[in-house]
Amino acid sequence: MTLQIPFDNSYAALPDGFFARVKPEPVRAPSLIAFNEALARDLGIDGLDDPDLAALFAGNALPDGAAPLAQLYAGHQFGQYNPQLGDGRAILLGETIGTDGIRRDIQLKGSGRTPFSRMGDGRAWLGPVLREYVVSEAMHALGVPTTRALAAVRTGETVVRERPLPGAVLTRVAQSHLRVGTFQIFAARGDIPALQTLFDYAVARHYPDATEPAAFLDAVMRRQAALVAQWMSLGFIHGVMNTDNCSISGETIDYGPCAFMDSYHPETVYSSIDRFGRYSYAAQADIIVWNMAQLATALLSLMPDPEAAIEPFTAQVHAMPNLIRAEWLRRFGAKIGLSDPTPDDATLIAELLTLMQTDEADFTNTFRGLVDGTARDQFTETAGFDDWHARWQSRISGEEDPKGLMSAANPVLIPRNHRIEEMIAAAVAGDDAPFHRLMAAYATPFADDPAYADLRRPPAPEEVVQATFCGT
């Protein structure tokens, strides 16, 4: 094996109660679908021409220095606390320190059963693997903090979900896989020494200046506020914002029933199991506050007087909506060409969104249309838009470069649901060309490339994807 990953593992040095040591289960006939060479170079990986890449990223072979393990955590799932979850189909190979000096996990997803698999088979099928590969890399190109995709491999085996489907393994990269649920499990068990160890580890790895629980909570909340506001500015819906899917590092993690909106509506839901809209587009701003309240509750156990800390911790969490509103205004202000938007501009933005909702205007194409002058085409009732447009033009008249600001804030392309589904259907049939075309297009989502003009088109009525499935 010529591939060399410069592992510098730290999580594996924590007490055994934080994880289970487990190796990936080999697969029958691994074949490489994609390998992210640019990311591999950033991670300091050598030997990129290794002919055994498929075997390595399927879990059939372990690179030197790997310390494979499945992490333990708990979490609130749709508001209900599950006291033990953990990596049921993912195995952390180890960590690297990249060329930028940042430590990152390398994790196989779909690599077989672990002690936390419960009734699951530990495997993944091809569709969710390719969805996460495409969407996570598109999110990175859009400038969103996110896990990354390093490799995707067919296993040559079949997994059974609603029907037999081709199996696959995803290799993903993250600044860490520490979650709100990682803190919850030790707090709920009353294992304060383990909780303190986890806290010290998370501080050292992510927030070295936040050495006290209150400062740590504030740092995590600020990253999460910025992240969710950025999601919303792109019409992105995570779909399953359980506390076990909420990363301490502030990255987007666990792309299950994720989707980008086509027609704008604040109550849009894509997850097939989100029957009450808990994780709808607009609800994301409230749910991240709820998730941070769960983190605050876990951190109380580390305070010298937990009862006395309830009031200041509660005040911190109650201040978070203002953080989100400020980030939301900054992001959406840029989308309409305002470098320093005021609270009054929030009304102007809200008026446009109301018009879009009423007329079922396409979210991405309307905002990009403000750049190229085609936004009016998204409306059938144009009088309301014309009135808004006149007031908007007056507002941006004093801006130095509103078009440049909007061009950088409003992508031409997003991974539209119907295109993702087309790509998955083709890949299941053995054709990976649509996957590679989407990867090429979404690498430069702000570029107006005529070669990808068809990818700007919203779905026809018969192409609309009503729901995505939560799980792999």
Q: Which residues are catalytic?
A: 244
CB within 8 Å of 447: residues ≥ 6 apart: 412
CB within 8 Å of 395: residues ≥ 6 apart: 338, 345, 348
For the beta carbon of residue 439, count every other beta carbon within 10 angstroms.
20
**Residues 333, 76: Cα–Cα separation, whole Å:** 33
What string of DSSP letters covers 298-345? HHGGGSSSHHHHHHHHHHHHHTHHHHHHHHHHHHHHHHTT-SS--HHH
Tokens of 274: 């989100």
**Residues 203, 182: Cα–Cα separation, whole Å:** 14
Cα torsion angle, 362, 388, 330, 354, sign: negative
For the beta carbon of residue 84, count every other beta carbon within 10 angstroms.
14
**Residues 55, 35: Cα–Cα separation, whole Å:** 12
- Residue 91 C-beta-side C-alpha neighbours within 13 Å: 27
